[in-house]
Structure 1
Amino acid sequence: MTLAPELAVTRWFNAGEPLTLAALRGRPVLLHAFQMLCPGCVAHGTPQTQRAFELFKHSDLQVIGLHTVFEHHDAMTPVSLEAFIHEYRLTFPIGVDQPGEDTPIPVTMQRYGMQGTPTIILIGRNGNIVHHGFGQQSDMALGAIIAAELANTPG
Structure 2
Amino acid sequence: MKTQLAPEWQTTDWFNTPESLSLSGLRGQVVLLHAFQMLCPGCVSHGLPQAQRVAKLFPDVRVIGLHTVFEHHEAMGVASLRAFLHEYRIRFPVAVDLPGPDGDPLPRTMRAYAMQGTPTTVLINAQGGLHRQMFGVHDDLLLGAELGLLREHATSSAKHPTTPQLGSMHSCADDSCAIK
**TM-score class, shorter:** over 0.9
Displacement, 1:43? 0.3
Displacement, 1:56? 1.1
Mapping 1:27-66, distance limit 5 Å: 27-57=29-59, 59=60, 61-66=61-66
Q: How many residues align?
A: 153
4+ residue runs over 2 A deviation: none
Q: Provide the identity percentage.
A: 56
**Equivalent position of 1:127 in the other structure:** 128
TM-score using structure 2 length: 0.84
Gaps of 5+ in 1: none
CA distance in structure 1 between the partners assigned to 2:11 and 2:147 by the alignment: 24
Aligned residue identity for 1:99: P
Mapping 1:48-87, distance limit 5 Å: 48-57=50-59, 59=60, 61-87=61-87
Equivalent of residue 26 in structure 2, options 14, 17, 24: 24
Displacement, 1:16? 1.3
The 3-state SS of whatever aligns with 1:74 is helix
Aligned residue identity for 1:115: Q
CA distance in structure 1 between the partners assigned to 2:83 and 2:63 by the alignment: 20
CA distance in structure 2 between the partners assigned to 1:138 and 1:34 by the alignment: 17
Q: In the TM superposition, what whole-angstrom CA distance separates every residue of 1:38-79 from its partner, at most 9, and x where no partner exists?
A: 00000000010011001112x2x1110000000000000010
CA distance in structure 2 between the partners assigned to 1:141 and 1:79 by the alignment: 35
TM-score using structure 1 length: 0.97
Aligned residue identity for 1:7: W
**Equivalent position of 2:164 in the other structure:** none
Gaps of 5+ in 2: 162-180
CA distance in structure 2 between the partners assigned to 1:131 and 1:144 by the alignment: 13
Aligned residue identity for 2:75: A
The 3-state SS of whatever aligns with 2:7 is coil
**Equivalent position of 1:15 in the other structure:** 17
Displacement, 1:30? 0.4
**Equivalent position of 2:6 in the other structure:** 4
**Highest CA radius of gyration, 1 or 2?**
2
CA distance in structure 1 between the partners assigned to 2:21 and 2:63 by the alignment: 11
CA distance in structure 1 between the partners assigned to 2:116 and 2:53 by the alignment: 24
RMSD: 0.7
Mapping 1:85-96, distance limit 5 Å: 85-96=85-96
Displacement, 1:18? 0.7
